[in-house]
Every structure is written in C-alpha cells, then in structure tokens.
Amino acid sequence: MAGLFGDDDPPVQDAPPAPDGPGLFGDSLPAASMPTVQATPYRVLARKYRPTQFSDLIGQDAVVRTLRNAFALDRVAHAFMLTGVRGVGKTTTARIIARALNCVGPDGAGGPTTAPCGICSNCVGILADRHPDVTEMDAASNNGIEAIREIIEAVRFRPMQARTKVFILDEVHMLSKPAFNALLKTLEEPPGHVKFIFATTEIRKVPVTVLSRCQRFDLRRISVAELSAHYGAITAKEGKSIAPEALALIARAADGSARDGLSLLDQAIAQTPDGDLITAEAVIDMLGLADRSSVFDLFEAVMEGKPPAALAITDNAHARGADLGELLSDLLDLVHTVTRLKSVPGLREGSDLPEAERVRGAALADTLSMASLGRAWQMLLKGIAEVEQAPDRRAAAEMVLIRLCYVSELPPPGELVRRLLETPPTARATPQTAPAASVFASPPITGGSRAVGNGPPRIAPEPEIAPDIAPEPDIAPPHGPVLSSFRDVAALVAERREPTLHAHLVHSVHLVRFAPPVIEICPEPDTPRDLAARLSALLGEATGTRWTIALSSGPGEPTLADQGDAADHARRQDAETNPLVMAILKAFPGAKVEAVRDSAVDAYGLSNANAGPASLGGEAELAVDLPPPGGNDLDEPSDFWENTP
C-alpha cells in the first residue's frame, strides 16, 4: 500500500525500549521491567548463629562477668589477650567488645555498653566487617613488621566515625619477633582512643613482654552438656528433629569447640531428608565412629579375655567404616570414665554423663579392680601410639586388643609378689642382715608396676674404706657444721652452691689424710690449680676455723664417685642373688634389675653411719615392671603358677 505521497509504506519500527526508571510523574515501572530478586545465599550454621551479645556466649561465664563489671566500672583495659582452643569464641568475643565500645544506641546518644543495640550505624558496620575504625587482621598471613608498621601509623589518627579505634589481631602468636618488638611501645602506651584485642590458640608462643601489657582472658572448653543443649536449640530453630544420642555424639566429637560442632550439625542436617529424624546411627556413619554400645561390648569382651568376641566387634566396626585407631581412643576414653566412676562413686548420680556411662559404666566400675583399669590404660595408651606408626592400622589395633585379652587373665603384679612371698621359708635362702633397699626391675616394652613393702630383700652393706691415719676429734665450732669425714666436706660444698668445686671433689680428688683442720688430698692432673685455696676459704668461712689443704703425691683413696659406683655394683649383685628377685626374674624373662636404692646410703651412694641398720625400722620397696604379654615363653598365663616353686 502506497503512502500519502505515493511512496511505499514505511518499514515497521521495533517497539521502544522499556524505561529504566520511574515514569515522568513518579509512577512505578511496568511489571515486566521489575528486576528479578536474587535468592539469599545459604549461610552455614556457624555464621548464622554466631553470638552478637555477651549473653549469647555459652560456657564463658567468668569472662562475661569480668567484662561486664569492667564496663560498668569504666575500667576497660587498653589491650586484651583472648586465648583458648579453636572454636570457643575468641574472635566473636573480640567483635562483641568492639561493638560494646562503640555502640551509640538507637538514638545516637548512647555510650559504651555491655548490650550493644545492633541497629546503630557502628553496630551494623562492625557486624558487616566494614567499619573504618575497626580493623581485623589475620596475623598468620600478615606476620611481618610491615603490617605492624601500618597499624602503628594508623594509631596516630583519631577515629573517623566511632568512639574508639579497635585493632583485632587473630592468631597473634604467628607474628615474627621483629613485629612483636615493633608493637611493644605502642602497646604499652597507646592513645586513649585505641584498643587492642589479640586472639591466639598458642598462648605459650606469645612473648612475655606482650602478655605483661595485656589483660588476659582464658576461654575454656565448652562442656558436652552445654554443647548438646545449644545444638538442640539450634536444630529446633531450623525446624529439624534430632535424637538426644545424636546430639551427644556431635557434642563429644566437637571436643569443646562450638564452631566445630555446628559444622558437624550442619553436615548431619544436610544428609537427612526433610522431615526425618536425625538419628545416632546416621551421625555414627557420618563421623566414622563405632556405636557407643559397641565400645562397651568391646571393652567387656577385652576385660573378660574373649579374643573372638573382640575381633568380631572390630570386624563389624571396620565394615561400617569406623577407624580402628579411633576405636582404641574410644576405649581409652571409656577406661578413664570407668576409673572416675570407681574413684568417685558420686558421679553416678550426676547429669553430666550419658545414660550408658551411668548404667553400664557403673557396673564395670564395680566389677573391675583399679589395677586392671590402670593396666588397660597404660597398654591402650602405648597401643594407640603403635597404631599411628604402623603401616596397617587395622592389624596394629587388633594386636593391641589381643594383648589386652590375654593380659586380663594374668594376676596383678601385687598379687604375684604376694604369692611369691607366701612361698615356704625352706624354699628360699636366708637373707643377710643389711640396710633396707629398693629393687627396681624394668621390662623391655610395657607392663604394670606395683610396690610391695612386706618381707624386704636385704642387701649386704658396702664396707667403709678406712683412712690411712685415724682422724683427730671432730671440729665443732659453736655456730658451725660438724665435719667428721671428707664426705661431709663435699656435702657442705654442695650446700654452699659451688657446683664446680663440688664436682671436682667428687670425681677428681683422692683423699690421703683427713685430720681436721688439715686435709691432705691428691688431685688428678685436670683439677684446677686453685682448688685447694678455694676449698680452704670456703671451709674457713663456714666453720670459723682456719683450714689447711695439703697437696700430696700419694695414691690416696678412690674418689667419692668411684666408691659410690663400687658400692652400687655390690648392692646390685646382692639384689640379683636375692631369692625373691630371682623368682621374679625367672617368672618374667626379659625383665632386669635396673637400679637398687638403699634408704641407708647418702647422696654419694655410700653407707650413712647415722642411718642405723635397716632392721631397726627401714622397709624395702620392691617395684616390678612386667614384660608385655607374649614376651615370655610360657604357653598360657596360667602356666606360671604351675612352674612357680
């Protein structure tokens, strides 16, 4: 169709673009032009439920109480050091302190408070981590002196918006030594508008010079009961249902860290369909743990000496994905719990322990002896270390359990020694009269240790080495020590804190004649030349008498160290020939006499003339360490008693 002037129809124009703003008179845009609302990204539970008030902190009552009192009394320190394990709330507490210092309230006229409003510009900015006057720095990645110089430079300027400038340094122990040194002066005398808050998990790595300039707060581990209640409340807010046993498992796996437990709870919720109950079995599968009832069953099988039952339980746990090294750790924890229940029966009435520990744990505590529990603890402790080093963790863990099963049939070492002592006197040689001694036998690997005090082995005393010339009467000044032998002189030198002189007297000096106030000695060639003068001056000052130290070329007596070694060797030989010790060494091949300790000898290993004979009141202590099960050549533990005389 032709146009008005006979030309062709104009081409069809495209529709005009949609307006990108409100209309001329402020009317709204058409519905088609409204921007699409983006879905809010998911926030993990650890961030979603991060405490924003002091009252939200769980398990830190002492810290919260101190901070509230400090704000109420206007005694807020200029530097804080927050320490504790990961996930207990160190950084969260630092941010709450920063908001408490700078909150101005809804009306903008408020001051520092322990209950920040959360709606003023300062609170909102600090919560969003975008406030210009609150600087949070990770010292692990900014540990050089350059980062600290930037902080020192920023300290000089007053805050732009807030009342107080706050510098939060997380993992402050990672700072280098120059960085710490650069911070010291500013940290000691900061401007009034500046606060420092440090957080660390390794408080021992922080220099003492920094700690002394801070107010320290130790955030403790959160108990299992507190974590369970906290996680239960969060699960209810999320509209989910969880079994109490599952909550206990997550709280125990958190190991006192609220953040770690929330991460586990997040994972447990994610793997459970909507509307379903989060069960303990699901949490066990998620964590790769063994069921708590299985741990009790395993412990009972081990303590009853039933290897087939114990290995069947470990096979089931391994098939479900449980790590047998963690299973041994659970056993170790159970041994500790049962030992506590046996030591403190009142714990059975408390609410801190789960029902299984209170019922089955209490029954085990009534059945097992303290000796058996202590032996199981030691073997598990060393067994876990073996598992960590073994190429096959499962095989190593099973070997530990098998050893535990067989050692359960053995009597405690105390019972062993008691039975040996009950052997008829005709079967043992008559011991010689001697001072009381302690005989210590140690095995090559592991075992229990007990002390017995009836019927002590008697060791022949070391004879005194008589001097060539009889000493003159003792010198006893009115206010001085009595020196009746060269050993008394050496002991006096040790009391006067002269370690070098004392070492030479013990190891390098041979006594030729002791006739106070004259001492004749023969020093070895490497002895200092001024030894005689130093010894004479020390004795004169201590006794108030002039002493003469003469040097001789005679052979003299053996040194005190040589005399002590000879006496110790003699005591060891007597101990090894003692009938009781010989019976123990025969019963446990691989054990050996490690040391013989005599209560009637002095610090130099020589007989003490003032101690008196052991038969007048001394008592021997016999400590025996047993070799590990399988370390002897007996086919069964019961064969020992058949071969004991």
The 3-class secondary structure across 523-539, one letter per residue, is: ECCCCCCCHHHHHHHHH
Percentage helix, strand, coil for the chain under 3-state DSSP, each rounded to 5: 45, 10, 40
- 78-137 residue pLDDT tens: 999 999 988 899 999 999 999 999 999 888 888 888 889 888 989 999 988 889 999 999
Q: Mind spelling out the 3-state secondary structure of 380-415?
A: HHHHHHHHHHCCCHHHHHHHHHHHHHHHCCCCCHHH
Q: Where in the chain is the domain with CATH 3.40.50.300?
A: 45-218
pLDDT of the residue at 506: 86
pLDDT of the residue at 37: 53
Least confident piece of the model among 95-109, 190-204, 302-316, 340-354: 340-354
Q: What are phi and psi of 618, to 5 degrees?
A: -75, 155
What are the DSSP calls for 506-518, one per residue?
HHTEEEEEEETTE
Interhelix angle for 393-407 vs 307-319, to 10°? Answer: 150
Q: Where in the chain is the domain with CATH 1.10.8.60?
A: 224-287
Checking if the pLDDT of 447 tops 50, the result is no
- 448-499 residue pLDDT tens: 333 343 344 443 344 444 444 444 444 444 456 778 888 888 888 888 888 8
Three-class DSSP category at 285: helix
- 46-62 residue pLDDT tens: 888 899 899 889 989 89
pLDDT of the residue at 386: 92
When the candidates are 3.30.1200.10, 3.20.20.140, 3.90.1150.10, 3.40.50.300, the CATH number that belongs to 45-218 is 3.40.50.300
pLDDT of the residue at 344: 86
Starting from the edge strand earliest in sequence, which strands make up the sheet with 194-200, in order?
134-138, 165-170, 194-200, 79-83, 215-218
Checking if the pLDDT of 580 tops 70, the result is yes
Over range 424-451, report the average pLDDT: 41
Strand segments, DSSP code E, in 279-381 are none
Task: Give me the half-sphere count of Cα atoms (radius 13 Å) on the Cβ side of residue 308.
Answer: 0
- 546-566 residue pLDDT tens: 888 888 887 788 888 888 888
Q: How far is CA 628 from CA 89, 168, 231, 279, 642, in A?
A: 45, 53, 44, 41, 20
> What whole-number distance in Å separates Cα of residue 32 and Cα of residue 186?
59
Over range 148-177, report the average pLDDT: 92
Q: In terms of pLDDT, which residue wins out, 144 or 431?
A: 144
pLDDT of the residue at 170: 92
pLDDT of the residue at 514: 87
Percent of the chain residues topping a pLDDT of 90: 26
* 494: CB partners within 8 A, 6+ apart: 502, 603
Beta bridge partners of 340: none
Confidence of residue 151 (pLDDT cuts 50, 70, 90): very high
pLDDT of the residue at 533: 85
**Element holding 442 (H helix, E strand):** strand 437-442
What are the DSSP calls for 18-53, one per residue?
PPSS--TTSPPPPGGGSPPPPPPPP--HHHHT---S
Highest mean pLDDT among 169-178, 419-428, 442-451, 618-627: 169-178
> What whole-number distance in Å separates Cα of residue 217 and Cα of residue 513?
64
| Burial class of residue 473 (count of CB atoms within 10 Å of its CB; 0-12, 13-18, 19+) | exposed
> What whole-number distance in Å separates Cα of residue 106 and Cα of residue 131?
17
- 3-12 residue pLDDT tens: 444 455 555 4
**Element holding 549 (H helix, E strand):** strand 548-551
Highest mean pLDDT among 279-293, 330-344, 354-368, 573-587: 330-344
**Element holding 194 (H helix, E strand):** strand 194-200
Report residue 303 as tokens: 């303590």
Report residue 523 as tokens: 């020093």
Residue 347 CA to chain centroid, in angstroms?
Answer: 23
Which CATH topology does 224-287 take?
A: Helicase, Ruva Protein; domain 3 (1.10.8)
Average pLDDT, the chain: 78
Domain at 486-557: CATH code = 3.30.300.180
- 317-367 residue pLDDT tens: 888 778 888 889 989 999 999 999 889 888 877 666 776 777 888 888 888
Instruction: Report H helices in 496-630.
Output: 499-507, 531-543, 560-576, 579-587
pLDDT of the residue at 470: 45
Q: In terms of pLDDT, which residue wins out, 51 or 435?
A: 51
Are 72 and 189 spatial neighbours (Cβ–Cβ below 8 Å)? no
Long-range Cβ contacts of 599-604 (<8 Å, 24+ apart): 599/435, 599/436, 599/437, 599/438, 600/435, 600/436, 600/461, 601/435, 601/462, 601/567, 602/487, 602/491, 603/491, 603/494, 604/487, 604/490, 604/506, 604/560, 604/561, 604/563, 604/564
- 618-630 residue pLDDT tens: 344 444 454 554 4
> What whole-number distance in Å separates Cα of residue 25 and Cα of residue 391?
80
Q: How many CB atoms lie within 10 A of CB 82?
A: 28
User: Which pTM was predicted?
Assistant: 0.54
Are 99 and 134 spatial neighbours (Cβ–Cβ below 8 Å)? no
Q: In terms of pLDDT, which residue wins out, 314 or 592?
A: 314
Report residue 272 as tokens: 């459970």
Percent of the chain residues topping a pLDDT of 70: 76
Over range 257-272, report the average pLDDT: 90
pLDDT of the residue at 39: 61
> What whole-number distance in Å separates Cα of residue 526 and Cα of residue 166?
64
Q: Where in the chain is the domain with CATH 1.20.272.10?
A: 292-407
**Which architecture, in CATH terms, is 292-407?**
Up-down Bundle (1.20)
Q: Return the closest-CA partner of residue 417 out of 572, 303, 574, 587.
A: 587
**Terminal alpha carbon distance of the chain:** 132
